[in-house]
Amino acid sequence: MQAVTHDGVTLHIRDEGPRDGRVVMFGNSLGSDLRLWEGLIPHLPAGLRLIRFDKRGHGLSDCPPGPYSIEDLSGDAAAICDALGLRDVTFVGLSIGGLIGQSLAARRPDLLRALVLMDTGAKIGSPELWQQRIDAVRRDGIPSISDAILARWFAPGFAEAHPAEFALCRNMLERGPAEGYAGCCAAIAGADQTEATRALKLPVMAMAGVSDASTPPDLVRATAALCSAEFHEIAEAGHLPCYEQPEAVAALLKDFFDKT
C-alpha cells in the first residue's frame, strides 16, 4: 500500500502505470473510495499513469475530526501531486471530486493540464440540505440514509440487474466512517466555485448520467457553460457513470485525452 501525509493526515493512494505516462488523477464521490474506478481502468488507453486516492475521512485514509473544507481536500490532492513530483495532470473528478478538481485548478494551475467534471457542479445543494444530512449521519449513522443515497446513485433498474455490484457499493458507503462523511458534507455545503470555475483557462470536459438525481444533467451543463467546457450525457447512468457505464465514459475520456 502507498500513502502520502499532508498536514498530519495520512492519505491512501494508488499509483499505477508507467512513470513517464500521461498522468490521470481521479477524485472520488462522497461516500466512495478509490475502488470505485476499478471497472473503468481496463477500458482506458494503455500507457497512462493512473493516480487514485482516498480523500480524508474515506477508505484507508485518516479521518480527522470535521468539518472539512474544499480547500482542505484540494490541498490534499495538491500534496499528493507534489509528493510524487506530478505535473501536467489531467484531473477527473466525480461529485465532490469535481469540486476538488475545480478548486485544485483554480488554486494550483501549475499542476493541471486538463480537467474532467463528472456529475458535479460549481455549487451543489444548499447548506440547509447538507446540515440535515450531517445531523442524520451523526445521530443515526450512514446506514440510516443509505437507501436514499443509493436511489440517487444509480439509474432505474441497475440494482435489480446487477445485485452483486449494487451490494458492493452499499457496503462501501455504509462501512465508511460517519465523521468523514459528515466532514465532507460540510465541505460541499461551504463550497461555491462559480467564479473560480468561470475564470479557468485549461481544457475542461463535463459529463453527467441522464438519471442522476444528485447532480442532475442541467446542473452539470450549467457548470460546463461557466468555463466553455464540452458537455456529454451518459445514457442508462445515474450519479456514478464510471461504475454503471465504464465503456461509454472511457470512450469520452480517450477522445478528450487525444484532443488535450
Q: What is the pLDDT along the chain (260 residues), one digit of tens a residue?
A: 899 999 999 999 999 999 999 999 999 999 999 999 999 999 999 999 999 999 999 999 999 999 999 999 999 999 999 999 999 999 999 999 999 999 999 999 999 999 999 999 999 999 999 999 999 999 999 999 999 999 999 999 999 999 999 999 999 999 999 999 999 999 999 999 999 999 999 999 999 999 999 999 999 999 999 999 999 999 999 999 999 999 999 999 999 999 99
Spatial distance between the Cα atoms of 38 and 50, rounded to a whole number of angstroms: 11
Q: Sheet containing 112-118: which strands, arranged edge to edge?
A: 2-6, 9-16, 49-53, 23-27, 89-94, 112-118, 204-209, 230-234
Tell me the domain boundaries of the chain.
Answer: 2-259
Sign of CA dihedral 105, 108, 111, 113: positive
Cβ–Cβ under 8 Å, residues 117 and 229: yes
Residues 180, 75: Cα–Cα separation, whole Å: 16
Residue with cell 443515526: 140
3-state class (DSSP) for residue 165:
helix
Q: What is the pLDDT of residue 78?
A: 99
Classify 2-259 by CATH class.
alpha beta
Residue 231 pairs with which residues in a beta bridge? 206
Quote the pLDDT of residue 50: 99
Residue 207 contacts residue 232 (beta carbons within 8 Å): yes
* C-alpha to C-alpha distance for 102 and 162, rounded to whole angstroms: 32
Q: For the CA atoms of 228, 234, 235, 241, what is the dihedral angle to 10 degrees?
A: -150
How far apart, in whole angstroms, are the C-alpha atoms of residue 29 and residue 147? Answer: 17
- What pLDDT score was predicted for residue 124? 98
CA pair distance 34, 44, nearest whole angstrom = 16
